[in-house]
Amino acid sequence: MSIQHQISVPFTMGTSSDYNAHVAYHTHFHYEVYYFHGGKVNYLINDRIYVLEPGDLLLMHGMTLHRAHVDPEVKYHRSTLHFDPFYFKQFIQPPFAADLLEPFRKLQNVRLQLRGSEKTEVEAVINRLELHYAQKDSFSTQRFQAQLLDFMILINQLCQKPMKEKSTFPSSKQLHVQAIISYLDSHYQEEITLESIQTELHLSKFYLAKTFKEVTGSTIFQFLMQRRIYQAKIELIDGDQSITDVGYEVGFKHPSHFSRAFKLHTDLTPEQYRKQNQLHSVPAE
């Protein structure tokens, strides 16, 4: 089941060595910084798979379908920061500074592979953020926001460097799953079967189904449903098409099926989702 996370505060910070295996693909309107300390994780962001290594820093921009598929046999440790970009821009970023949210908007979703002194510095900043966040007094809140400003400046500095990222897929299985995800992302509006994917990729449909489940933790058609619901959310927020037309556009053959599936994955009907989120929409800059 897809989850749309919402936060009622300007920012949240957390670190954990535990993982709920049932966390599904999800989206949210706030920005996310995810730092990977250790474990064995395949992280899916839209149509990309990242095989994470300690020191990896992920920047994610708003409505991005993502999910960590964690090997429960290996100790998992990550830190996450979620923040409201509009709050940051209005109350934290100084007026004389460059746009510190530019990496999130321009790169949208990116992995920075930090090593050596960069890794040490980012971990120290994250530790200070977590320390101030845990204290609920007003001075600690102010220090958290000041540290957050410094963190965004550091992230901008790191993003200026050329990112010649090499593939870190350890086997052909991840490459094949990447190909499946890319195919689903390009054809989600169409009728898709295992046979059509088999024909496209020239691999056995049984191998494809088994490998996709092994690498991502979900079935091909669960992922396809998440992709369609994700796109429907965007269309419902940004567009003015009828609910029926949105359903057809994202690949549902029948309006009733679209409504049932959307409510199952979001706990809201398409009409309720559009009304709730358009009320809070912010014009693009």
For the segment 59-69, what is each residue's pLDDT rounded down to a tens digit? Answer: 998 667 788 88
Sheet holding 48-51, edge to edge: 3-5, 26-28, 66-70, 41-45, 48-51
Q: Residue 1: pLDDT band by 50, 70, 90 thresholds?
A: very low
Q: Which pLDDT score, from 0 to 100, does residue 27 have?
A: 63
Q: Is 55 left (phi over 0), alpha (psi -120 to 50) or beta?
A: left
Between 115 and 281, the higher pLDDT residue: 115
Q: Which pLDDT score, from 0 to 100, does residue 16 have?
A: 82
Residue 136, both tokens? 């609920």
Mean pLDDT for the chain overall = 86
Q: Which of 34-43, 99-108, 253-262 has the lowest mean pLDDT?
A: 99-108
H or E segment and range at residue 109 = strand 109-113
Average pLDDT over residues 259-275: 94
Q: Residue 163: pLDDT band by 50, 70, 90 thresholds?
A: very low
Burial class (CB in 10 A: 0-12, 13-18, 19+), 22: exposed
Question: Side-chain half-sphere of 141: how many Cα atoms within 13 Å?
Answer: 8
Between 278 and 253, the higher pLDDT residue: 253
Alpha helices, DSSP H, located in the chain? 85-87, 102-106, 116-134, 138-159, 172-187, 194-201, 205-216, 220-238, 243-249, 255-266, 270-278
Q: Which pLDDT score, from 0 to 100, does residue 44 have?
A: 87
Q: Residue 46: pLDDT band by 50, 70, 90 thresholds?
A: confident
Q: Which pLDDT score, from 0 to 100, does residue 197 have?
A: 97
Average pLDDT over residues 252-273: 95
Please give the model's pTM, rounded to 2 decimal places.
0.69
Helix (H, G, I), strand (E, B) or coil at 171: coil
Per-residue pLDDT reduced to its tens digit, 134-155: 998 999 999 999 999 999 999 9
Range with the largest mean pLDDT of 126-135, 168-177, 227-236: 126-135
Average pLDDT over residues 44-57: 90
Per-residue pLDDT reduced to its tens digit, 80-127: 999 999 899 989 999 888 889 989 888 878 899 999 999 999 999 999
Percent of the chain with pLDDT over 70: 86
Average pLDDT over residues 249-266: 96
Distance, in Å, from the CA atom of 270 to the CA atom of 241, rounded to the nearest integer, reads: 12
